[in-house]
Chain A
Amino acid sequence: MNKYDAIIIGTGAAGGIVACVLAEAGKHVLLLERGAHLSFTDVGRDHLRNQRLAIYGHNAGPDVVGNPRVFIDPQGHARIVKPYELDYHNNAACVGGGTRVYGAQAWRFHPDDFRMATKYGVPEGSSLADWPIPYETLEPFYERAEWELGAAGNGESIRHQIPRKRNYPLRPVGPSPQTAALQNGARQLGWVTTPVPLLINTEPYGGRSACIKCKYCVGFACPSDAKSGSQNTVIPRALATGNCELKTSAIVESVETDERGNVIGVSYFDNNAGGPRRQTARAKVVIVSAGAIESARLLLNSHSAFHPAGLGNEHDQVGRNLQGHLYPRAYGISPTKVFDGVGPGVTIATTQFNHDNPGIIGGGMLADDFIKPPIDFWYDSLPPDLPRWGLGNKRFMRENYTRVMHVRGPVQDIPNPEGRVTVDAGVRDKWGLPVARLSGTTHRATVEAAEFMRERGEEWMRASGCEKVWSAQPGLILSGRQHQAGTCRMGRDPKSSVTDEWGRLHNHDNLFVVDGSLHVTNGGFNPVLTIMALAFRSAEFIARAMRN
């Protein structure tokens, strides 16, 4: 049996970084990924089966067959869901995880995002809490993620809100036809704007070429490899050391403990070479980086006589506080064309309303959007009073696909312990493992903030010269999906958190969770850069601890 220094479960935004830092520190690492290496062609360009619009399937795993989840709707009805259904709350399962097919917005959280309870108090029914670390502690690691993966941006205009010591390594993405109108609109309203930071090479960087400005960022793979994810940055670095062994199609069954309850390794199914074979691997340290839903599921499925409710779950905290983002959105018809077919399409944002909104807890960022394929636009962006068929619908598509301006943004999710992941022993995946069961909704304070942001979006559209304006926000639902977070949150008190500030489980010195699960709150921003920054910080801590 192989003995490693560290076993890392998951190759997404966090797992890749942990593997890279440990392998470069000379540690012998086993990196396990349930999905496969997906080439550009494997991911493809199917407009109906991708991670942005998944009607009949999707393009980056997990397989549609054999990977069910159970979803409990707000009325309490349970139903089995497939990976491409919205209620599955999927994130990609492949080498690179979500970063293989994400849009790559590279936001830092706002300093106030780390002290939500102190700033706003704790609303009834919520588990709102401060992070155990302030923004300043994470700042150097944000910088590290921006420089080591390659972020493009210009943080000058919002430096007073989100301080930074060093600029981005790459210049921001250039303007699109709508950018000037949105900038003028914001100026009239007295709002500060900023270019949207992206982990996309606006010029050659890290040995990879520049963005060729195609129309397919979110939901698809990048044709010029200019979009930076774990699969083309930190994982190749880890493998280049010779210290990291990457196994794909490896489904981890459980984190294993010895007869005294100490973590000793994992058991997993190797699906290569003719079907699943159960394997075990031993290591000094195990790091779970499978995403907020699967990381919680794995800990809950890792039960023994010592840990009957699952690892780290002595106080029934694992899987609780599942968060993501509600996305309010606003649209308007611009007097001039705003579509020129040049990607990525997202250019300008305002962080004016992330905090300090009267009567609102938190808030969020608003930005224009990535280019939407016509069928995405048809589903997402039509005015509610437009007939959904007939000549009127067709004429609207014809006249306004290139003229509809659009802003949307993630609203800070107010956590609540009933929005959660449990496991369902009655429903198994194709390896016989109990599947994730998702239940609850976000807190109503999140919906109030989303409504407030929807109104700001409409305001921005009108000030930017739009003739007809409409908007939407999702209401009281469970959030999660690609921005899933919060299920193994960090904290000082073992009764209300799962790990310490390093991602180390309170009762296990050698078991870590490192991914979005750690987020105490999930900011009013796309969370990936925060996941990456925390991963660098935890990985350095683990490397240091292993030296001693």
Chain B
Amino acid sequence: MNSETLRAVVDCLIPADDFPGGYEAGVGDYVERLLRTDLAEHAEFFRAGIDAIEAEALARFNKPFAKLSTSEQTATLAAIESGEVKTIWPITPSRFFEMLVNTTAEGYYSEPQQGGNRGAVSWLMTGFEKFSDS
């Protein structure tokens, strides 16, 4: 699994605006930790999915996923979500995508100690907390 790909995927799922995107908030680290712990049984499945996203990007645009424009990235992920892939996947694309979207959101919106919500950014964004040290 290419960490550049993971980073670009996470930031496409939770993009930066005036609040940090998923990767800056730590979601990449959160996912990597989960693959070593709670999701260890599914780590191979997950890594195969990230590799397949990369293959899909190359097949569609002849570029790595991380080098695609935002709209190209979004179109690629939307196609994977609905199972309309152009390459041969070793796993079910929609099943992988659901796991990917869920783990990304879990990292970003759960408590900062999990690693994907550094500085409680999502809690400040949603209004769940008013101060980052609370």
Contacts and interface: CB of A to CB of B under 8 A. Distances in A.
Asked if chains A and B come from one complex, the reply is yes
Contacts of A215: 128
Given A55-B106, A389-B77, A394-B15, A46 B126 contact: no
B19 interface: yes
Contacts of A337: 127
B109 A391 contact: no
A391 B38 CA distance: 28
B46 interface: no
Interface in B109-133: 109-111, 114, 122-123, 125-130
A117 interface: no
Nearest to B124: A398
A401 interface: yes
Contact of A374 (B12, B15, B39, B123): B123
B128 A401 contact: yes
B101 A48 contact: no
A512 to B, nearest CB: 40
Contacts of B13: 389-390
Contact of B74 (A55, A378, A390): A390
Nearest to B13: A389
Interface string A316-347: 00000000000000000000010101000000
A374 B14 contact: no
Contacts of B127: 337, 339, 341, 401-402
B38 A375 contact: no
Max chain A Cβ within 10 angstroms of own Cβ: one of B38, B106, B110:
B110
A329 B33 CA distance: 34
A48 B15 contact: no
B38 A56 contact: yes
Interface string A108-142: 00000000000000000000000000000000000
B76 interface: no
A378 B105 contact: yes
A375 B15 contact: no
Interface string A367-393: 000000111011100000000111101
Q: Which range contains the number of A residues in contact with the other chain?
A: 20 to 34
Contact of B109 (A45, A57, A375, A390): A375
A379 B34 CA distance: 19
A47 interface: yes
A394 B13 CA distance: 9
A392 to B, nearest CB: 10
Given A57-B38, A374-B123, A401-B128, A48 B114 contact: yes
A123 B17 CA distance: 56
Contacts of A57: 38
A397 interface: yes
Contact of A375 (B14, B19, B110, B129): B110
Interface string B54-98: 000000000000000000001001000000000000000000000
Given A397-B122, A401-B128, A391 B15 contact: yes
Contacts of B130: 341
Interface of A: 45-48, 55-57, 215, 337, 339, 341, 373-375, 377-379, 388-391, 393-395, 397-398, 401-402
8 contacts: A55-B106, A339-B128, A374-B110, A378-B109, A389-B13, A395-B17, A397-B125, A398-B125
- 3 closest cross-chain pairs (CB), A and B: A401-B126, A56-B38, A47-B110
Interface of B: 12-15, 17, 19, 34, 38-39, 74, 77, 101, 104-106, 109-111, 114, 122-123, 125-130
